[in-house]
Structure 1
């Protein structure tokens, strides 16, 4: 049996019909070399029992998994750098399958229908990147560079280790084609990626329906998203659904900021209704505090710079709200949008507390810790990188000796540091036993700066050496468990 008894197929988006997606076929690739399989993520949906040959059959050649109808290219529009584009859609990827997440606390039934009692389990998507052309490919070749696939695997792993809601890179298969690209040395190697994600319904999915003035399609999408992803919202309550998406998006944005992460391309087709980060192209992690830091070389005006990400997400939410005006009054939608700012600040406080491993002491004290942390990073500039601050002081006062005797010990001084330390030490450590993990015996944290990413790729490109890539993923996984996210 290729799938485990925990596998529960549930292709709900497929049921919406041809107004929302088009049936497609995957490209026929000359080779299928398995470069990465994420068995921990696969176990969440009952796919960890696949042999490598079965894995490639389903996640490289895209033979349908049991109970799945075959791949579909999702239809959507979107604003790209705030310019509307009605010619988007899945152009080099598709939705391959949907299934329910495994609930380890209950007995695992046989893989029949997922509907009914298991509806309470999260619905998960298998989405592809680089799987071939679709009706929405325009002039593209529908392919993904192997380097792009490697970068996405690394980004998703690092973000998960930092507590950011993110898709996971489930599979990376090298496909044996030589691709021409204008922005990197060509020809370059090709790959197909599969991500495991909690919904690929984008803001742009609603925008397409609104563009065509299809209030009926908006109503269908509202009910689809409400029932599957935000069931606490009452049927037909479009403002309530928007409020739930606003809350989830605020949490995601706050977690990006606390991670020092810059997504790079925050277009409306790159934000989804569950507030889960996905589709990593020109991403970067901050080397040090720099509000204007950008990830994409083509972001010439810093529209999606690090500190402008909350603004960008809010702007995109306003576009979603505009679509919902076809089925709801403007007043309640505006009220829902106005919840973004307070929600973002609330989630930012929680995210910083989590990153520093300390307990909440109340709104005022928690905000003081956020403010003094940012002030310290600003004060130290290039002398302190983003990630080492959170690593050195994880656990608050419990890490004093470790931080002050470590490689950055001499940096931790000055007026800004004193204010930070006072604010930090107000808070009790959260689960201080985590500091016993071997991760915290190391002098430095796991980071994901661009020079290391390029070095990992250089070893693969020049010598087909995957050892550095695999070692990096192993260290990221150790960090994830060390921070208590295992």
Structure 2
């Protein structure tokens, strides 16, 4: 195996770097300056040309400078890579100090999409690696790369992925795997856990205030003029989180490890570990086999998010004036909008998925009853919703495409009569409704078995499937007539035995 090249700084032609990411500018208490650890024989696995175009980095990504920098084998033209410290609750238990154990923020970039942080995941040991090695493996890196871009294409707030780069360097997990690095992009990677760290682990109220002031000034400026900016921030984060969770539930996305250190202060989907999209609809589906108690089961995600907001509020408590009991009560009030916001967002998304253009009493029951039928018969989540877009209001239409997804045909027929009446009540036109529904009910999601097939090919040095799958999931509502039929079909039998854990 070739030794990695020593770290060099690439030419400063592009992109435009800021001297330091936001957290780095706040002081030494927020993390550690250190260089990435180079990898040998690095090579491209895949790149997101879509993201590169959105950022204005197409030419740079194709240049000779991009590969070594995004692999962690070169340094940015200015500034220093930085690993941040945070804490958090993991599976409901306080875990104490955590931090960027295998991630390094290279810096901030001026892009067509505004200022963005560029972070490398898998770039080597940091002071926060604990018992880890600071590396990521090819398997999990491909999954995160594909899902980051798939979620964005689904219209769900998320961190993004610019590239995944491989290396033959061995990494031990359950067995020996090979190393990889994902280049992640977001306006910020600040988490609930950053707030918790300075409130509970470091017990540094001055640093906590510095952090919260910076978050408000950069990302929530409207909160600055509120009577109590901290409360206003908590409310705004709660509202963003509510809408994010409605997005997840509507598309059947299971995060798998909703620890407070995996919750974004910006309401983004962050840290793709043991995630999964529902195949058969099962409200209590657990996508992370490490989660033996089912804390993060699909149906529990909205309540877990609210629990995490309580943890965030507790972290903000030292900044509140007055007696603690009164402060706790006002913070609970500040979070309370989460509940109606989630319910409203969920109903809005289900009306869209049903193709409805007006709001009428009984819409929530109509959606819930369809979900009960899907759960009873374990109907495929993605296929069923997409097929519902082909529902015809013509007399005696068989509607086989969606009806055939159910074992209980009589149960579906009874529901379909109610749906037919609801569509007639707003004079719905079939063709127009199908077009609308096809824009919110994807034909393609990143099913576990599709990702697994791409990973197995990549392990043999063939990245064709990863790149082909990327193009499809980046346009999940399109028909893609040239894509393999299996991409939109029921999963094969072997897919039911796939297990995904926190190991990466």
- Give the TM-score of the pair, scaled to structure 1: 0.84
Quick check: 1:393 aligned with 2:392? no
1:208 Cα shift? Answer: 0.7
Whole-Å separation in 2 of the counterparts to 1:163 and 1:403:
32
Tell me if the contact between 2:384 and 2:405 (Cα under 8 Å) persists in the aligned partners.
no
Q: Taking structure 1 as reference, are residues 348 and 245 closer, same or farther at Cα in structure 2, changes over 3 Å only?
A: same
Task: Name the residue aligned to 2:69.
Answer: 58
Tell me if the contact between 1:375 and 1:416 (Cα under 8 Å) persists in the aligned partners.
no
Structural RMSD (CA) = 3.2
Within 5 Å, give how 1:297-308 maps onto structure 2: 297-308=289-300
Quick check: 1:459 aligned with 2:457? yes
Residue 176 of structure 1 aligns to a residue whose secondary structure is: strand
Q: Taking structure 1 as reference, are residues 448 and 366 closer, same or farther at Cα in structure 2, changes over 3 Å only?
A: same
Task: Name the residue aligned to 1:215.
Answer: 205
Task: Name the residue aligned to 2:5.
Answer: none
Quick check: 1:155 aligned with 2:147? yes
Tell me if the contact between 2:82 and 2:104 (Cα under 8 Å) persists in the aligned partners.
yes
1:434 Cα shift? Answer: 9.5
Tell me if the contact between 1:372 and 1:419 (Cα under 8 Å) persists in the aligned partners.
no
Task: Name the residue aligned to 1:205.
Answer: 194
1:282 Cα shift? Answer: 0.7
2:96 aligned to which of 81, 86, 92: 86
Tell me if the contact between 2:245 and 2:302 (Cα under 8 Å) persists in the aligned partners.
yes
Q: Taking structure 1 as reference, are residues 466 and 423 closer, same or farther at Cα in structure 2, changes over 3 Å only?
A: farther
1:454 Cα shift? Answer: 2.0
Q: Runs of 5+ in structure 1 lacking a partner?
A: 104-120
Whole-Å separation in 2 of the counterparts to 1:32 and 1:251:
39
Q: Runs of 5+ in structure 2 lacking a partner?
A: 1-10, 321-326, 481-504
Tell me if the contact between 2:39 and 2:73 (Cα under 8 Å) persists in the aligned partners.
no
Q: After superposition, give the CA deviation of every residue in 1:32-73 in whole Å (9 maximum; x if it has no partner).
A: 10111112212333322212422113211363445x512110
Task: Name the residue aligned to 1:370.
Answer: 367
Tell me if the contact between 2:171 and 2:177 (Cα under 8 Å) persists in the aligned partners.
yes
Whole-Å separation in 1 of the counterparts to 2:292 and 2:427:
43
Quick check: 1:286 aligned with 2:278? yes
Whole-Å separation in 1 of the counterparts to 2:192 and 2:305:
11
Within 5 Å, give how 1:95-134 maps onto structure 2: 95-102=105-112, 121=114, 123-134=115-126
Task: Name the residue aligned to 1:479.
Answer: 476
Tell me if the contact between 1:3 and 1:49 (Cα under 8 Å) persists in the aligned partners.
no
Tell me if the contact between 1:215 and 1:327 (Cα under 8 Å) persists in the aligned partners.
yes
Quick check: 1:269 aligned with 2:261? yes
Whole-Å separation in 1 of the counterparts to 2:395 and 2:187:
39
Q: After superposition, give the CA deviation of every residue in 1:13-48 in whole Å (9 maximum; x if it has no partner).
A: 221121111101101111210111112212333322
Q: Taking structure 1 as reference, are residues 398 and 320 closer, same or farther at Cα in structure 2, changes over 3 Å only?
A: farther
Within 5 Å, give how 1:335-350 maps onto structure 2: 335-350=333-348
Residue 285 of structure 2 aligns to a residue whose secondary structure is: coil
Residue 171 of structure 1 aligns to a residue whose secondary structure is: strand
Q: Taking structure 1 as reference, are residues 338 and 478 closer, same or farther at Cα in structure 2, changes over 3 Å only?
A: closer
Task: Name the residue aligned to 1:295.
Answer: 287
Task: Name the residue aligned to 2:415.
Answer: 416
Whole-Å separation in 2 of the counterparts to 1:356 and 1:100:
40
Whole-Å separation in 1 of the counterparts to 2:64 and 2:102:
24
Tell me if the contact between 1:92 and 1:134 (Cα under 8 Å) persists in the aligned partners.
yes
1:134 Cα shift? Answer: 0.3
Residue 64 of structure 2 aligns to a residue whose secondary structure is: helix
Whole-Å separation in 1 of the counterparts to 2:15 and 2:300:
45
1:79 Cα shift? Answer: 0.6
Residue 311 of structure 1 aligns to a residue whose secondary structure is: helix
Whole-Å separation in 1 of the counterparts to 2:20 and 2:429:
38
Task: Name the residue aligned to 1:116.
Answer: none
2:29 aligned to which of 19, 26, 43: 19
2:220 aligned to which of 207, 226, 230: 230
1:373 Cα shift? Answer: 3.5
- Give the TM-score of the pair, scaled to structure 2: 0.81
Task: Name the residue aligned to 1:177.
Answer: 169
Whole-Å separation in 2 of the counterparts to 1:294 and 1:230:
34
Equivalenced residue count is 453
Q: Taking structure 1 as reference, are residues 425 and 228 closer, same or farther at Cα in structure 2, changes over 3 Å only?
A: farther
Task: Name the residue aligned to 1:117.
Answer: none
> More deviation in 42-51 or 419-428?
419-428
Q: Taking structure 1 as reference, are residues 242 and 427 closer, same or farther at Cα in structure 2, changes over 3 Å only?
A: farther
Within 5 Å, give how 1:29-68 maps onto structure 2: 29-50=39-60, 51-61=62-72, 63-66=74-77, 68=78
Tell me if the contact between 2:88 and 2:96 (Cα under 8 Å) persists in the aligned partners.
yes
Whole-Å separation in 1 of the counterparts to 2:251 and 2:427:
21
Q: Taking structure 1 as reference, are residues 339 and 472 closer, same or farther at Cα in structure 2, changes over 3 Å only?
A: same
Q: Taking structure 1 as reference, are residues 82 and 296 closer, same or farther at Cα in structure 2, changes over 3 Å only?
A: same
Task: Name the residue aligned to 1:332.
Answer: 330
Whole-Å separation in 1 of the counterparts to 2:297 and 2:203:
33
1:258 Cα shift? Answer: 0.6
Whole-Å separation in 2 of the counterparts to 1:319 and 1:20:
20
1:4 Cα shift? Answer: 5.7
Whole-Å separation in 2 of the counterparts to 1:304 and 1:357:
30
Tell me if the contact between 2:18 and 2:79 (Cα under 8 Å) persists in the aligned partners.
no
Task: Name the residue aligned to 1:194.
Answer: 183
